[in-house]
């Protein structure tokens, strides 16, 4: 499934297609049935011991350790497919950041995980410089 990027008059980039994931620095958007959801993002906690997961600048979860992960997107009433794809994506972003993986590698791992989970139609689109890892 080919994705196209369109810039609006206000200067925002939006995905064109039916399904996909658009990355812009640390943020990403999920395109599902021609509708874009996001941005999803992460922030280091104030003590730098954990990572907070964000949706539209609202915290929806937190990583404290491999044994302590919390995420709940229920309050946003998102489609289940968006929740599933966003969860896999934020999880792989976090894995890449915590393990110092280059962006190309964690995106390859994300592609494999999406394919294994039945989300082959979600292609990637890039927008902006690489800011996630080295």
Total of domains in the chain = 1
Average pLDDT, the chain: 85
Asked, for residue 11, whether it belongs to a domain, the answer is no
Asked, for residue 68, whether it belongs to a domain, the answer is yes
Q: Give the CB-side neighbour count of residue 38, counting CA atoms within 13 A.
A: 28
The reported pTM is 0.81
Query: What pLDDT score does 18 carry?
Result: 86
Asked, for residue 5, whether it belongs to a domain, the answer is no
Asked, for residue 134, whether it belongs to a domain, the answer is no
Asked, for residue 12, whether it belongs to a domain, the answer is no
Query: What pLDDT score does 51 carry?
Result: 95
Cβ atoms within 10 Å of 1's Cβ, excluding its own: 11
Burial degree of 51 (CB within 10 A; 0-12, 13-18, 19+) = buried
Give me the residues of the chain with pLDDT under 70, please: 1-16, 127-134
Q: How far is residue 91's CA from residue 76's CA, in Å, rounded to a whole number?
A: 19
Query: What pLDDT score does 125 carry?
Result: 79
Asked, for residue 60, whether it belongs to a domain, the answer is yes
- Strand 123-126 relative to strand 19-24, pairing: parallel
Pair of tokens at residue 73 = 């997107």
Question: Angle at CA 33, nearest 5°, toward 36 and 85?
Answer: 65
Query: What pLDDT score does 66 carry?
Result: 87
Query: What pLDDT score does 25 carry?
Result: 86
List the domain range (segments joined by +) for residue 97.
Answer: 17-126
Q: Give the CB-side neighbour count of residue 36, counting CA atoms within 13 A.
A: 20
């Amino acid at each position: 499934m080919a994705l196209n990027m369109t810039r609006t008059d206000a200067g925002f980039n939006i995905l064109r297609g039916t399904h996909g994931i658009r990355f812009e620095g640390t943020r990403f958007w999920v395109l599902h049935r021609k509708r874009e959801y996001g941005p999803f993002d992460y922030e280091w906690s104030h003590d730098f011991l954990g990572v907070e997961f964000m949706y539209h600048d609202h915290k929806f979860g937190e990583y404290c350790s491999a044994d302590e992960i919390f995420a709940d997107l229920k309050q946003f009433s998102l489609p289940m497919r968006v929740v599933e794809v966003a969860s896999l994506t934020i999880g792989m972003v976090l894995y890449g950041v915590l393990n110092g993986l280059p962006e190309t590698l964690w995106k390859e791992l994300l592609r494999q995980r999406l394919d294994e989970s039945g989300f082959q139609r979600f292609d990637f689109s890039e927008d902006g410089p690489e800011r996630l890892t080295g």
